[in-house]
Structure 1
Amino acid sequence: MVGVWRRSRPRTRVVAGVVALAAVGALVWWLWWRGGTDASAQEAPATRTVAASLSTLEKTVTTTGTLTPAVHEDVSFTVAGTVTAVGVAAGDTVTAGQTLATVDTLRLDAAVLQARATLAAAQADLDAAQDADDGTDAAQAAVDAAAAQVAVAQADVDAAVADVSAATLVSPVAGVVTSVGVAVGDSVGSGSGSGTGSASSSTAAPGGTSGTSTTSTAAFTVVGTDGWQVDATVGEADVAHVDVGDQVEITSDDLDGTVFGTVAEVGLVSTSTSGTAAYPVTVAVTGAPAGLHDGVQVDVAIVYERRTDVLTVPSAAVATADDGTTTVTRVAADGTQEDVTVEVGEASGDVVEVVSGLAEGDEVVVTVFTGRAGQTGGGTDGGQGQAPGAPPEGWTPPDGGAGFPGGRTGGGDD
């Protein structure tokens, strides 16, 4: 979904701060609620000063995705034969071009010899046709046909030689072997290329004859560890905000911290789940952070708009009158205070943008409600009052605000 404006900050600090504030807030509320109506339990609101400061505000599209290696190769034999050697095991690190396994070349070598014999015969036919060429159209046609046969025979030789080379299966990329699907003695069937070959094994058929069962499992799977990506989907309403190159923040309980990346691809064909369209988005992880694992579910925040050097103050410092005028209480260098009219913009969490009326470094008053000063009744019978964090009488949130944090009206034990 599309996120509201937020300040950019290290995610681990944000989480720790939220947990700490929640714990402190719960303790204060409990002490206030249980404090009774004794005068010693009454505390007037406290104030503090906070300087207007420059912040970075972001708008994001949030979704979830799966962490996968950017390099993922299924490798199989492209020729038929019996496996004679397997040189790696699952978990081994390999380099590009390193031998993974081999099959016997008896039939392949024979195919090369046969192809070369056919080529020699075709070449002899061409030589004879050229010698018999008397300049007639018929003679020229015979030469052309013989030349074509030579070309076909040469192509067969080249293919047979390539098959002998393919009897040695090598890794196309550097990475880690994650699966091995063949063993010495297995029969493999020819495929059509890397990742499409199949392994087969002989089985006894009824009546004593032997049959062959073939599976589509790749002989080897090799994944890279130097590059990662996140496969995610974005809803139809949000995909218009996402462009290739957008910066991305990736988080998960399984990661040590925030991982960063960029949008590498936005799919054009959507999929539909329960009538809701979603588009595939591929995120390229920046660098090769430690601790990444294939298949980890992650939260993704795609930053589609970022504003830097935005002047902000705590939302609690801003008061909005009935006519919509917004003011703050500014503290001068000599300690005197004055109400200043300000123009506010976007809100982000517990801060609000100040468009005009203040300068960076200006000190403003923030009221902190930590006691029971507003309570007029008490006991456990539902007396009226205000819980800690409730706004003063007549307070309304600034434009774009989401209400006073922590506010609660009413009183008494439930």
Structure 2
Amino acid sequence: MPKISLRWNRARKWVIPAAALVAGAGVGVGAMYLWGPSSAGDQEAFAMEGMEDAGQQTMTVSLQTLEESVEASGTLAAVSTDSLSFDASGEVTAVYFEEGDYVEEGDVIAEIDTLSLTASLTSAKAELAQAKATLSNLEDADDGSDASEAQIEAAESQVAVLKASVADAKEAMDDAELVADMDGLLTSQPYEVGDVVSGGSSSSSGDSSTMTATSTSTSSDGVTIVGQDEWTVSVSLSEDEVALIEEGDQVTFTSDDVDEEFYGIVTDIANLPTTTGGSATYAVELQVTDTIEGLYEGTSVTADIAYLRQTDVLAIPTNAITTTDDVSTVTVVDDEGNEETREVTLGDAIDSYTIITDGLEEGESIVVTTTASSDGTDSDSTDDFSDMMGGFSGEMPSGDMGGAPAGGMPGQ
């Protein structure tokens, strides 16, 4: 049974709540969301008013969007992560960025003393120049003998070795600067002025990489840059839940650390389950498609994966419908309070709501009959509406609630 969840529709003016079902701990089994009309003139739609007869309320019918989803939780992981370290050895003489700073590709994060590196490069260049001169003299004195040819070959080999030494010395000079090779947030920066480091190795990857540096006075881990543009979330779903979804389904993310909703899609569903304690779950990968500030590596999020969505339909609480001998009716109330029993044609029923395909029009009012709960009070789906809107004294909130999901929402 899907879980009913209340949510403001960011693309509309207000939300119509449905009856809540209690979900178990951990991964939720689903949710149905209902959004109200977007025009300011429709802000009174679905407003409930008590009638003279106890246990009855009226509601105004309007076009709705019904959605069912599977709920899961996970943490944000950056798609791009680079780790960098000094390839050259020396003392750290300057630090330009600290942990928590944002860097751009090409920024120099820190640098080491180049005095010894400069001396090594100068020496390598001098040795190469001498070797080239020796080779030139041997070539000029070549008499065609085997001995002369052997001397020239040896000199050529020496020149090749010294060229490589010069190239290494130049690279070491370049390695004296630790340069960011991508835009992102510095989540680790262990270097301080005065640290002595010995050459390590560094590399980068579009997905992730692990590199190390050795230092006499800092952490053995180098600088870590986390990209802020692309995020993924890994979640686990039960066999029943994973059967409902498919790749490409729209995902709505919420987090206690982020003020607004953001959106994504399902990108991968594992074919084989992981069994823990006799319970099988399937790994599902989600991709964030929104560009939004305030997202960080490891941020906990809740993901609602929409697997069913019906838009612009007339949906009313099922307990407003009476069905006898396969004939379904509702009680319509006109502006003067006169009641009329009218036959309606039913569409899909989603939990406590039913779609009306014929017999009702947007803007008409109908009667919803409440039922007595176990404690003797009246209750039905309209109680959730009263609880939700209690702070508004029966009036709908106005104003734009935000934009639509990035990339659109899935179809039916």
Q: Which of 99, 107, 119 is the equivalent residue of 1:98?
A: 107
Q: Which amino acid aligns with 1:367?
A: T
CA deviation profile, 1:133-182 (whole Å, cap 9, x unmatched): 97x9x97x999998777666544433331221111112333444444312
CA deviation profile, 1:90-116 (whole Å, cap 9, x unmatched): 344443322222112344334434544
Contact 2:76 2:300 in 1 (8 A): yes
- Judged with a 3 Å threshold, the aligned counterparts in structure 2 of structure 1 residues 14 and 81 are, in CA distance, closer, same or farther, namely farther
Which sections of structure 2, spanning at least 5 residues, go unmatched?
Answer: 21-51, 204-209, 385-412
**Equivalent position SS for 2:169:** helix
Q: Which of 186, 201, 209 is the equivalent residue of 2:195?
A: 186
Q: Which of 251, 272, 275 is the equivalent residue of 1:248?
A: 251
Contact 1:265 1:282 in 2 (8 A): yes
- Judged with a 3 Å threshold, the aligned counterparts in structure 2 of structure 1 residues 266 and 74 are, in CA distance, closer, same or farther, namely farther
Q: Which of 200, 211, 228 is the equivalent residue of 1:196?
A: 211
- Judged with a 3 Å threshold, the aligned counterparts in structure 2 of structure 1 residues 339 and 87 are, in CA distance, closer, same or farther, namely closer
Residue 167 (str. 1) matches residue 156 (str. 2): no
Partner of 1:367: 369
Residue 74 (str. 1) matches residue 83 (str. 2): yes
- Judged with a 3 Å threshold, the aligned counterparts in structure 2 of structure 1 residues 93 and 199 are, in CA distance, closer, same or farther, namely same
**Equivalent position SS for 1:161:** helix
Residue 298 (str. 1) matches residue 313 (str. 2): no
Q: Which of 280, 287, 290 is the equivalent residue of 1:286?
A: 290
Contact 1:56 1:308 in 2 (8 A): yes
Residue 309 (str. 1) matches residue 298 (str. 2): no
User: Using the alignment, how far apart are the partners of 1:16 and 1:332 within structure 2?
Assistant: 24
Partner of 2:58: 49
Contact 1:328 1:339 in 2 (8 A): yes
Contact 1:73 1:221 in 2 (8 A): yes
User: Using the alignment, how far apart are the partners of 1:188 and 1:161 within structure 2?
Assistant: 18
CA deviation profile, 1:188-230 (whole Å, cap 9, x unmatched): 232221451223217xxxxxxxxxxx95322x33445x53635
CA deviation profile, 1:4-44 (whole Å, cap 9, x unmatched): 6878743997699999xxxxxxxxxxxxxxxxxxxxxxx95
1:286 Cα deviation from its structure 2 partner:
1.0
TM-score, normalised relative to structure 2 = 0.64
CA deviation profile, 1:307-345 (whole Å, cap 9, x unmatched): 211221122211244x55533223467835124142231
Give matches, 1:106-145, under 5 Å: 106-116=115-125, 119-120=128-129, 123=132, 128=138
Contact 1:52 1:362 in 2 (8 A): yes
Partner of 2:68: 59
- Judged with a 3 Å threshold, the aligned counterparts in structure 2 of structure 1 residues 98 and 256 are, in CA distance, closer, same or farther, namely same
User: Using the alignment, how far apart are the partners of 2:284 and 2:135 within structure 1?
Assistant: 58
**Equivalent position SS for 2:182:** coil
- Judged with a 3 Å threshold, the aligned counterparts in structure 2 of structure 1 residues 169 and 404 are, in CA distance, closer, same or farther, namely closer
User: Using the alignment, how far apart are the partners of 1:7 and 1:303 within structure 2?
Assistant: 14
- Which structure has the larger Rg over C-alpha atoms? 1
Partner of 1:10: 9
1:288 Cα deviation from its structure 2 partner:
2.0
Q: Which of 336, 342, 345 is the equivalent residue of 2:345?
A: 342
User: Using the alignment, how far apart are the partners of 2:101 and 2:215 within structure 1?
Assistant: 24
Contact 1:115 1:156 in 2 (8 A): yes
The farther-off stretch of 358-367 and 6-15 is: 6-15
- Judged with a 3 Å threshold, the aligned counterparts in structure 2 of structure 1 residues 109 and 314 are, in CA distance, closer, same or farther, namely same
User: Using the alignment, how far apart are the partners of 1:356 and 1:16 within structure 2?
Assistant: 23
Over aligned residue pairs, what C-alpha RMSD do you find?
4.5
Partner of 2:329: 327
User: Using the alignment, how far apart are the partners of 2:277 and 2:179 within structure 1?
Assistant: 44
User: Using the alignment, how far apart are the partners of 2:151 and 2:270 within structure 1?
Assistant: 56
Q: Which amino acid aligns with 1:101?
A: A
Contact 1:345 1:355 in 2 (8 A): no
1:249 Cα deviation from its structure 2 partner:
1.4
Q: Which of 191, 216, 225 is the equivalent residue of 2:220?
A: 216
User: Using the alignment, how far apart are the partners of 1:262 and 1:130 within structure 2?
Assistant: 72
- Equivalenced residues, count: 340
* Identity value in percent: 32
User: Using the alignment, how far apart are the partners of 1:357 and 1:7 within structure 2?
Assistant: 27
CA deviation profile, 1:56-100 (whole Å, cap 9, x unmatched): 122323110113555544332122222222233334444332222
